[in-house]
Amino acid sequence: MTIKLEINGKIDHVSGEITVRELLREKDVEDPDMVSVKLNGTILDRAAFDTVQVRENDEVEFLYFMGGGSQK
């Protein structure tokens, strides 16, 4: 049964009480290990992506790591 979440500020639905990693997969995130995730206001450790599950009405935000530089 789908559950309702707020994802990046918009109401959305996912397939159930799935793990954060499964959520990222459902949302077509290509590099989950290069993403930061905030769940209900707390940034998650990436090690928790496989164990923490989202629940009805959770607020989830995710964005890509940003870095680079002029080094060769």
Partner 1 sequence: MIIPKNIIAGIFAQAQAAAPIEACGYLAGAGGRVARYYPLTNVDGREDHFSFDPEEQFAAHKAARQEGIGIIGVYHSHPATPARPSAEDIRLAYDPSVVYVIFSLMDGVRTVKGFHIRQGKVEEEPLKVEEV
- Residue 1 or 31: the one with the smaller Cβ distance to partner 1 is 31
Residue whose structure tokens are 């959520």: 23
Element (H, E) at 64: strand 59-64
**34: helix, coil or strand?**
helix
Element (H, E) at 22: helix 20-26
Contact residues for partner 1 (CB under 8 A)? Answer: 8-9, 30-31, 34-36, 38, 43, 61, 63-72
- Residue 43 or 48: the one with the smaller Cβ distance to partner 1 is 43
**Shortest Cβ 6–partner 1 spacing (Å):** 11
**Shortest Cβ 31–partner 1 spacing (Å):** 5
